[in-house]
Amino acid sequence: MEETGKQLMEEWTVSESVYHPANERTGGTLFSIGNGLLGLRGSYEELGTKEVQGLFAAGVYRKSVERQFQMADTFCRKKYIFNEELMPTPEEVCIIQDLPDPLYCKIWLNGEPFRMWDGNLLAYNRALDLKTGVLDRTVRWDDGKGNITSIRFRRFCSMAERHLVAQEITITPENWSGEVKIESGIDASLNTEYEESVERDWNSGLLLKSEIDGGSTAFQGLENRWVDRSNEWKSESQLRRYKKVATVPAEQGWPVCLEKFGSLYSTQDDNPKTDAEALVAHSADAGFAACLAASSKVWKTLWDQADIQIEGDAKAQQRLRFALFHLLIASPQTDSRVSIGAKALSGQGYGGNIFWDTDINLAPFYQWVFPEWGKSLCRYRYRMLDAARAYAHSEGHAGARYPWQSSIEGFEHAPVAITCSRTQIHVVVDVAYSILRYADISGDLQWLEAEGREIVTECARYMAERVEYNEAENRYEILGVGGPDEYHPVTDNNAYTNYLTAYLLRRAAPLCEDPTESARWLEIAEKIYCPVDEATGLIPQCDGFYGLKDTWEMAGGDWGGPGAEYHECKGLKQPDVVLLLTLLPEQFQRKHLQANWDYYERFIQHGSSLSPSIHALVAAKLGLMDRTKHYFDLSAGFDFMDYNKDTYSGIHIGNFGGLWQAMVYGFAGLELHGDELRFDPHLPENWTSLKFNLQFRGEALRVEVSDGKATVSKKVDQKIKGVLFDLDGVVVFTDKYHYLAWKRLADDKGWKFDEEVNEGCRGVPRLASLQVLLDHNGIDLPLEEKERLADIKNEYYKELLQRINDSDLYPGAIELLERFKNEGLKLAICSSSKNAQAVLDALDLAKYFDVVIGGNDIENSKPHPEIFLAGAEQLGLSSEECIVFEDAESGVAAALAAGMKCVGVGPRERLGAATLCATDYSAFELAALA
Ligand code: BGC
């Protein structure tokens, strides 16, 4: 697209200023926005074309008895379905659901319907702001009768409130006055795969429920809000299109502005219906600008961590940021129930399913930049372990076989006719490899022990059963498999698979509890056939590869047509041996890279988007700067050029993960050898420097490459390595449950008790709180009885805790915890409450904390420093390396007595002693404590 001059990229912006209908499908993908939970394609509001429109939510799939590739065009069919006869029956698959469109709107300007392509389009611009994730379209339009209007549409998926999409429409009549009529609603008319019904219909808003075939039920709220005008709407719904209609006066030169707020929750969430309604209501109260400001603040913290700066090449910089933007909006962050599909949330290509791309191409970005997000991708594979075990068992094997293409349930969704889906067992080693790399990079051995070990050993177990012993050669072999290169799907001894199996078995052996089994794994690792020409370093992709035809002989140059015997030629869809070399840098030397590059590069066809970035990576390591730049441009421009003619079906997110690797592993030349980070940079001539951030074993690093050298420094605020949180009033609000429990006890006893009396119980231990009640009622009781009553209250409280939910969280607490985790900080809960663990479990918060100290673990209550000193000790940190978040005076005093800086969560008047006071977590920066 850009090549035709229609699209212009500026710093932090992707934009186009010419409208062309032929670009609509690709533009729908290129102008996608999202936040990892929602993805919204860049459709025009007035368009109404299914191919372009699309709202997707992570994990919201439908089950369908259909053939995956029936959705695709003949190009895809030819490409993948090698043997149609093999697929006589349709198979059940999961496809990411295209949900009803909350941005639906139709506009009439003085009675004339506005559609950009009717009338005269005087000016047009569509711009995606990569910094804040806002898509902005401006149009100057003549209705054909001389009435000129400017219209601006802005939309974003909030990063602060990830269930929210917000839109602003501003209409300014330039030379006329009259009326503007708007129809605004939720459009379900383009999809038929669910049953939808209106759950609630109010003056300005709607709540729509969609029951998705075999999947979750989605609830979507919508709130329309006129700015500076009375908010009067009429319902006027028609089949599958639920809409509100309003007409407002418009005056020449005065903007008419409508704000729309759409929410989406599903039955994956706790209270989808009430939350969907509440979110649009409070977002509409806050208004578009405030919601955008909150989202932009989060975007800033993400970019501070993820940006890679290239000096000297503006175009490369802009394209790289586009790639990083997509990596940021693709991640489900710490939600390990879902992973990232081959097209992320930008289209229905590959049915939104997950491939090995995530483990090999995408995972390194997250593992090095947002370790908690990287861990979550690993945890997703852990959740799918039982399905992988079932797959292995269905073949009569032990261990776990991860599928080639899967979704939320972890089962194989690719039809058997797609030969490579059954022969590419390297997926199993890829998953295990990624788990081991996560542990190597993060140093998170605790998780490796808790969950990762099980994945790695089960994968090893499976691979150990897939080897065959060749007596004549005294070696193990793997027969009838394919490596990543799909043009050679059935081969013997694919090098990628064999070498990585050896690697896996060696690393799995010490994790295995059975010494006999582990000894066998080591024996296989030793004897598995890993051929290499010792003199040159050349590795054959598979048995017999060198004997294949040197040419790329395809009938008519097309895919899979009759007589096309591509597996008899050396043409490669994507790197296989070359990719292997990048995965095991500690094992291969430069001679291997050089020899295999020289041999294989000439056969590469880049039939997969995963291909160019890996070539850029290797070319950079070899210092072949012309080739590096060529492949960088190919990878960074893959979707802009629509290189594979399928960008319409979604962004090639695996390519962007590979591009990040090309920057860090290629241009900066990073290799991890044991505990050591090594750099060997090679920058193109005009790139004067390259700067980026990494997280390595809990430390935040800044890497700056220039003049052929890489300088690594620790980021300034790294003195602080741990954060100790009080729980109540800092992370969650449990006061109301305490109040209700005391109230129930008081009611049982016929005592007087109200919210005012309850104030005296705030932050006070259980027995002392009871004393407040007793004093208020003028009652005295023996200690034993007091203890009994305090226990009863505690039972009531625990019962009430069943009701605790996300609305009881301190605003912004989750984002703060995720931010700290991603900055590599260790986190602890230090709460005097004896129910701390129960509260954490009820809200699924335990995963954020390395250590939890509750009321049962200490002898002295705050203001004694014991709890914080114990917290620091258990995190393995000194007092100076920790800070505390506290909302009670006694807690602040305890933190200071422990020699720690303290953030007082509350007003300065109450918490005067704290190092600083903060109530808005989204604005909190560690640097403020320096
Ligand atoms: C590639 C595979 C990849 C899949 C999904 C195919 O074109 O050859 O390696 O897993 O696309 O991205």
How many other CB atoms are there within 10 angstroms of residue 229's CB atom?
Answer: 13
Q: Most distant CA pair in the chain: distance in Å? A: 98
Under DSSP, the state recorded for 489 is: -
Grouping H, G, I as helix, E, B as strand and the rest as coil, residue 296 is helix
Which of 610, 611, 643, 655 best tests ligand 1's pocket when mutated (most atoms within 8 Å of CB)? 610
Tokens 């019962």 sit at which residue? 799
Which atom from ligand 1 is nearest to the alpha carbon of 357?
10
Q: What is the pLDDT of residue 8?
A: 61
Which atom from ligand 1 is nearest to the alpha carbon of 79?
7
Hey, what are 155's tokens? 């939309």
Sequence-ordered list of residues with C-beta below 8 angstroms from that of 180, at least 6 positions apart, any chain: 107, 108, 109, 110, 171, 173, 247, 248, 249, 250, 256
Let me know if 535 is exposed, middle or buried by CB neighbors in 10 A (0-12, 13-18, 19+).
Answer: exposed
Q: Given CA atoms 14, 20, 24, 26 in this order, what sign does their dihedral have?
A: negative
User: Ligand 1 within 6 A of 649 CB?
Assistant: no
- Alpha-helical segments (H) within 778-848: 783-800, 813-822, 836-842
In sequence order, what are the beta bridge partners of 809?
A: 732
Q: CA 554 to CA 281: how far, in whole Å?
A: 59
Q: What is the pLDDT of residue 894?
A: 93
Hey, what are 159's tokens? 């990063």
Q: Active-site residue 639, yes or no?
A: no
User: Ligand 1 within 6 A of 576 CB?
Assistant: no
Which of 608, 611, 644, 653 best tests ligand 1's pocket when mutated (most atoms within 8 Å of CB)? 608
Supply the residue whose CA is at minimum distance from atom 12 of ligand 1.
342
Hey, what are 562's tokens? 């009759």
* SS3 assignment for 403-426: CCCECCCCCCCCCCCCHHHHHCCH
Using only the alpha carbons of the chain, give its radius of gyration. Answer: 30
Sequence-ordered list of residues with C-beta below 8 angstroms from that of 724, at least 6 positions apart, any chain: 827, 828, 829, 830, 868, 871, 872, 882, 883, 884, 885, 895, 900
Question: If you measure from the C-alpha of residue 404 to the centroid of ligand 1, how many angstroms do you get, rounded to a whole number?
Answer: 9
Which atom from ligand 1 is nearest to the alpha carbon of 404?
10
Q: What is the pLDDT of residue 78?
A: 45
Contact present, 607 and 486 (Cβ < 8 Å): yes
In sequence order, what are the beta bridge partners of 105?
A: 184
Hey, what are 431's tokens? 């998953």
Which atom from ligand 1 is nearest to the alpha carbon of 608?
7
Grouping H, G, I as helix, E, B as strand and the rest as coil, residue 231 is coil
User: Ligand 1 within 6 A of 654 CB?
Assistant: yes
Q: CA 122 to CA 632: how far, in whole Å?
A: 37
Question: If you measure from the C-alpha of residue 309 to the centroid of ligand 1, how many angstroms do you get, rounded to a whole number?
Answer: 29
Q: Of 533, 672, 652, 653, whose CA–CA distance to 596 is shortest?
A: 533
Q: What is the pLDDT of residue 66?
A: 60
Hey, what are 538's tokens? 């050349």
Supply the residue whose CA is at minimum distance from atom 9 of ligand 1.
484
Question: If you measure from the C-alpha of residue 654 to the centroid of ligand 1, how many angstroms do you get, rounded to a whole number?
Answer: 9
Question: If you measure from the C-alpha of residue 413 to the centroid of ligand 1, how many angstroms do you get, rounded to a whole number?
Answer: 14
Question: If you measure from the C-alpha of residue 92 to the centroid of ligand 1, how many angstroms do you get, rounded to a whole number?
Answer: 20
User: Ligand 1 within 6 A of 307 CB?
Assistant: no
Tokens 């003085």 sit at which residue? 110
Q: Which residues of the chain have pLDDT under 70?
A: 1-9, 48, 66-91, 417, 551-566, 716-718, 763, 930
* Pairing status of strand 722-725 against strand 826-830: parallel
Which of 422, 486, 559 best tests ligand 1's pocket when mutated (most atoms within 8 Å of CB)? 486
Q: CA 919 to CA 653: how far, in whole Å?
A: 37
Contact present, 827 and 813 (Cβ < 8 Å): no
Q: What is the pLDDT of residue 925?
A: 81
Which atom from ligand 1 is nearest to the alpha carbon of 609?
7
Catalytic position from the list 313, 444, 576, 726: 726
Q: Active-site residue 201, yes or no?
A: no
- HSE (CB half, 13 Å, CA atoms) of 447? 24
How many other CB atoms are there within 10 angstroms of residue 82's CB atom?
Answer: 16
Which atom from ligand 1 is nearest to the alpha carbon of 652?
12
pTM of the entire predicted model:
0.83
Supply the residue whose CA is at minimum distance from atom 11 of ligand 1.
608
Catalytic position from the list 101, 143, 313, 728: 728
First-last CA distance in the chain: 48
Supply the residue whose CA is at minimum distance from atom 5 of ligand 1.
342
Let me know if 407 is exposed, middle or buried by CB neighbors in 10 A (0-12, 13-18, 19+).
Answer: buried
